[in-house]
Amino acid sequence: MASDRRDQAVHAALAQGLLTEEQPVAALLDTGGIRASATALKEAFAAVTDAPVLHAFAVKAAPLVPVLALLHSEGLGAEVASPGELALARAAGVPAARTVLDSPAKSAAELHEALALGVAVNADNLQELARLDALAPGRAGSPESAAPAVGLRVNPQLGGGSIGALSTATATSKFGVGLRDAGARALIVRAVLDRPWLTRLHIHTGSQGIPLPLMAQGVRAVWELAEEINAEAGRRRIDTVDIGGGLPVNFASDEHTPSFSAYARLLREESPGLFDGGYGLVTEFGRALLAKHGTILSRVEYAKTAGGRPIAVTHAGVQVAARTVYDPESWPLRIRAYDAEGLPKSGPAVAQDIAGPACFAGDLLAEARPLPLLEPGDVIAVLDTGAYYFSSPYGYNSLPRPAVHGFTAADGGGAVRFTTVRRAQRLDEIVAESGGAYAAALLP
Ligand SMILES: *Cc1c(COP(=O)(O)O)cnc(C)c1O
């Protein structure tokens, strides 16, 4: 988020009592920033194609019902990958027709439910297509327009990026049907030609760490496959291509780079025929829509030194930033220092560790980070945490999930208004999800 809006929001959050003794951690979401990113996405694709484009937000990036409802109000749909995510999208009022179900492990019951609701499905593999064959007769009687679209995910097997765990287009990735495996291409073409209801191809080359040219090559590979199938069929059997998400986020500054428009232009250069209006498009961006609009705040409880290293002990650690704590090289986060009133702290930068509350030594958000020397009662802001940080809570030490507050702030001053997106998890909820109702279960 823009740094002036963030400073305003942090100050207002402290003034309005959002960080307390009982709730020393809280997250802020910049509502206006999310809207602006949604607009940037829509405009980026409208500038390169006249075709209909469904922008389905990848729910796993921010599984919060009010966020999904906000994006829906901005004209976006939802990409879901589990019954839970589908339930969130439905609770947010996202219509089935604007929802896409992807997941490598859909059960027959999940497939049945999605199709009955009218949710589009991308099959991950040929076994899943065979399952869909068994469900297809039920759909044959329904009017063509009412039948949800079905696609097949392919893996262009182009290689990975800098973060192995997020590289989905490697030769041995668990996702999709490998396009370069021996005989696979012919099998895919046959599979589509044999199934009149299979009208889409789907690809998602990976997230954060994948170079843009590699992503564009992946989209090109799937467009070429669609052209091959359509040529073989003598008509446009594949009418829509779902290009997935994966636009990386710049975690090093407040700049939104690369932009949606740069990516959309690159895609059109690489695959012009995909954007000439003949194909419908689906996108599934997550991180690039939300990451820069979230900030996690925590009070500094203690400030100590050990072995000459200053250490700020805060309440924000592995329970809110598991990826950063376990893989700090791949997921470094910027941290800003504020005083107890929520005003930016100044002073010479001192290398200090920013520690979390969990009981293991590695629970650090940053090591030797140069910041104005933190003191007890100060506040840290962990930046760019709007995507994936709310979807990877970590239950270690039974630390509660913090509240998330949406805010609106006028640029250049004015009051900041907060609204609850999610309240903090309560202790009785932690007890309940930890078997509280079965306290005597193991007693003789
Ligand atoms: C995770 C995922 C996305 C979203 O990826 P981002 O990097 O957050 O844009 C989109 N599509 C699929 C299939 C995914 O698994």
The angle that helices 126-140 and 108-117 make with each other, rounded to 10 degrees, is 40
Closest by Cα among 325, 327, 422, 335 to 382: 335
155 CB under 6 A from ligand 1? no
Mean pLDDT of 407-428: 90
Q: With a 6 A CB cut-off, is 60 part of the ligand 1 pocket?
A: yes
Give the pLDDT band of residue 141 (cuts 50, 70, 90).
very low
Which residue lies with its CA nearest to atom 11 of ligand 1? 244
**Pairing of the two strands 25-30 and 403-409:** parallel
Ligand 1 center from residue 155 Cα (angstroms): 14
Confidence at 412, pLDDT banded by 50, 70, 90: low
* Residues counted in the chain: 444
Ranges in the chain annotated CATH 3.20.20.10: 31-290
| Centre of ligand 1 from the C-alpha of residue 102, in Å | 10
Tell me the CA–centroid distance for residue 14 and ligand 1, in Å: 34
Give tens-digit pLDDT for 184-235: 999 999 999 999 999 999 999 888 888 999 999 999 999 999 999 999 999 9
Bridge-partner residues for 314, per DSSP?
300
C-alpha 134 to ligand 1 mean position (Å): 28
Residue among 106, 154, 103 at smallest CA distance from 132 = 106
- pLDDT of res. 162: 84
Residue environment code for 17-50, b if the CB has 16+ CB neighbours within 10 A, otherwise e: ebbeeebbbbbbbbbbbbbbbbeebbebbeebbe
pLDDT digits (tens, 9 = 90+) for 259-274: 999 999 999 999 999 9
Residue range 10-18: mean pLDDT, rounded: 97
Which percentage of the chain shows pLDDT scores above 70?
97
**CA-closest candidate to residue 89, choices 101, 80, 81:** 80
The mean predicted confidence, pLDDT, of the chain is 95
Name the packing angle between helices 65-73 and 83-91 (round to 10°): 60
Distance set, CA 1 to CA 30, 75, 208 (Å): 7, 21, 19
pLDDT, residue 243, reads 98
Confirm or reject: Cβ of 285 under 6 Å from ligand 1: yes
Within 8 A by CB and 6+ apart from 111, the residues are: 121, 128, 131, 132, 135
E strand intervals along 162-214:
177-178, 198-202
Please report the pLDDT score of residue 145 as a whole number.
Answer: 47
pLDDT of residue 163: 84
For residue 103 and ligand 1, the question of a CB distance below 6 A is answered with no
Nearest-atom index, ligand 1, CA of 286: 8
pLDDT score at 375: 98
Residues 6+ apart with CB under 8 A from 362: 318, 325, 326
Ligand 1 centroid – CA 439 distance (Å): 40
Query: Probe ligand 1: pick from 60, 174, 293, 392, max atoms within 8 Å of CB?
Result: 60
**Per-residue model confidence (pLDDT) at position 164:** 83
372-384 residue pLDDT tens: 999 999 999 999 9
* Alpha carbon of 288 to ligand 1 centroid (Å): 10
Cβ 9 vs Cβ 30: under 8 Å: yes
* Centre of ligand 1 from the C-alpha of residue 143, in Å: 31
Tell me if 102 sits within 8 A of 91, measured CB to CB.
no
Angle at 100 between CA 96 and CA 101, to 5 degrees: 110
Tell me 400's DSSP state: P
Strand partners, 406: 29, 419
User: pTM, whole model, 2 decimals?
Assistant: 0.96
For ligand 1, say whether the CB of 61 is within 6 Å of any of its atoms: yes
Q: Report the CATH number of the 31-290 domain.
A: 3.20.20.10
Q: How far is the CA of 79 from the centre of ligand 1 (A)?
A: 8
Which numbered atom of ligand 1 lies nearest the CA of 287?
Answer: 8
Does the C-beta of 246 come closer than 6 Å to ligand 1?
Answer: yes
pLDDT value of position 413: 65
Mutate to test the pocket of ligand 1, among 204, 208, 222, 263 (most ligand atoms within 8 A of CB): 204
CA–CA gap between residue 263 and residue 9 (Å, rounded): 31
Nearest protein Cα to ligand 1, atom 15 = 204
Give the pLDDT of residue 409.
Answer: 85
Query: What mean pLDDT do residues 333-342 have?
Result: 98
Q: Which atom, in ligand 1's list, is nearest to the CA of 248?
A: 7
From 168, 207, 222, the mutation candidate for ligand 1 (largest count of ligand atoms within 8 A of CB) is 207
In Å, what is the CA distance from 308 to each residue of 31, 351, 353, 365? 42, 10, 11, 19
By alpha-carbon position, which residue is closest to atom 1 of ligand 1? Answer: 58
Q: Is 244 in the pocket of ligand 1 (CB under 6 A)?
A: yes
Please check the confidence at residue 146 and state whether its pLDDT lies above 90.
no
Q: Residue 287: CB within 6 Å of ligand 1?
A: yes
- Within 10 angstroms of residue 240's Cβ, the number of other Cβ atoms is 21
Name which of 75-79, 132-136, 287-291 the model is least confident about: 132-136
Ligand 1 atom closest to 168 (CA): 15
Query: Quick check: helix, strand or coil at residue 337?
Result: strand
For 2-29+291-433, CATH number? Answer: 2.40.37.10
| All CATH 2.40.37.10 domain ranges in the chain, comma separated | 2-29+291-433
Atom of ligand 1 nearest to the CA of 247: 9
Lowest mean pLDDT among 68-77, 128-137, 312-321: 128-137
Rounded to the nearest angstrom, the distance between the alpha carbon of 386 and the centre of ligand 1 is 15
Q: How confident is the model at residue 135 (pLDDT cuts 50, 70, 90)?
A: confident
